[in-house]
Amino acid sequence: MALYKHAVFLDKSGDAAFDQLQRPSVPAPWPGIYRCHACGHEIAIAQGHALPPQNHHQHEPGVGPIQWRLVASHKAY
């Protein structure tokens, strides 16, 4: 779970970018914090970098494949 202390530095967004699931290894459409939809593992991605590959971390059988969901971004539009 992403943490923060000072809410004044964050704005809530209704952008659809936060609803999309991204496949492993694709260029991250936005920089920021991403969460694995299947297991909750979180990562941070800089502008212009690709999301981690399918072998980034292991899932127990039945959990499903890695899919990355944007959690927080400074440029989600």
Nearer to Zn ion, 5 or 55 (CB): 55
Q: What are phi and psi of 18, to 5 degrees?
A: -80, -5
Q: What are phi and psi of 21, to 5 degrees?
A: -105, 130
Verify binding: residue 39, Zn ion, rule CB under 5 A: yes
Question: CA 74, CA 77: separation in Å to the nearest integer?
Answer: 9
Verify binding: residue 51, Zn ion, rule CB under 5 A: no
For residue 27, the 8-state DSSP code is: B
List the one residue from 41, 42, 67, 69 that touches Zn ion (CB under 5 A).
Answer: 41
For residue 76, the minimal CB distance to Zn ion (Å) is 21
Verify binding: residue 17, Zn ion, rule CB under 5 A: no
